[in-house]
Structures are given as C-alpha cells and as structure tokens.
Amino acid sequence: MIDSSRPQRVNIAERMAQFDEIWAPKIVARYNDNEVRLVKTDGEWVWHRHDETDELFIILEGEFEMDFRDHTVVVGPGEMLVVPRGVEHRPAARRGLVKLILLDPAGTPNTGDVRTATHAVEL
C-alpha cells in the first residue's frame, strides 16, 4: 500500500515494466487527494467525459491522440494535454503502444462512470 505520509521516489520505467495490461491504470503515488496513474494504451478507448474534474495526460512514449467531437489533438512524448471537465473525448493510440501518466482525483473512474470504468489499482 502506498504510504502518502512519507516521501516517495518512484522509478517510472521500473514501474511501467511491471505490467502489460492496456487501458488499466496503475496507481504509483498519491498527493493531496490525487492519484498518479501509469497507463499503457493501444487502440481506441471509449467516448466519455468527466463532469466533476479536468483530466491531465502526460505522454512518455509513443504518439497519443485525443478525439473530440469536432477535432483530434495529437500529443507526443514529452507533451501533455488537459481535457477540461465536461468535455466529451476519446483517447486513442492508433500507431502502437503508448505509455503515459494520468493525474486524477482519487477514485475517479477512467470513463467518468463507475459502471463502465476500468478501476485503477495500486502497483
């Protein structure tokens, strides 16, 4: 279990190497009431939105696309994208595996709906 009362050092590459599942967020740290999640993506995810929170994606490896109803934004390694709350979007990795960091308030479902979400688990 992650002990957020102590300083934490996380080796992102080592943690990424510990799992192969795609679209299955792994919690590697917590700060304030937020979770730092590592995610591997490949292919398209589902259209969804988060009514209560913005969503922050930081791309580590690969080319990531975020579809919006009227356009697509391409995000590469070393770049980040903030999706404002309430904006419908569909994450996609159409050119192969993408590794990213996702920052969300604790317990936020990755589809915006607990009934359809892949729940983040601690790594």
Q: Give the pLDDT of residue 109.
A: 72
Calculate what percentage of the chain has a pLDDT beyond 70.
96
Residue-wise pLDDT for 13-27, tens only, equals 999 999 999 999 999
d(Cα 108, Cα 33) in Å, to the nearest integer? Answer: 11
Is pLDDT at 88 greater than 90 in this prediction?
yes
Helices (DSSP H) in the chain: which residue ranges? 12-16
* HSE, side-chain direction, 13 A CA sphere, residue 92: 14
Asked if residue 1 belongs to a domain, the reply is no
Asked if residue 71 belongs to a domain, the reply is yes
Largest Cα–Cα distance in the chain? Answer: 44
Structure tokens at 21: 């599942």
Q: Give the pLDDT of residue 111.
A: 65
Q: Give the structural domain span for 78.
A: 12-122
Asked if residue 63 belongs to a domain, the reply is yes
Q: CATH number, domain at 117?
A: 2.60.120.10
Average pLDDT for 51-66: 96
> Counting beta carbons within 10 angstroms of the beta carbon of residue 36, is it exposed (0 to 12), middle (13 to 18) or buried (19 or more)?
buried
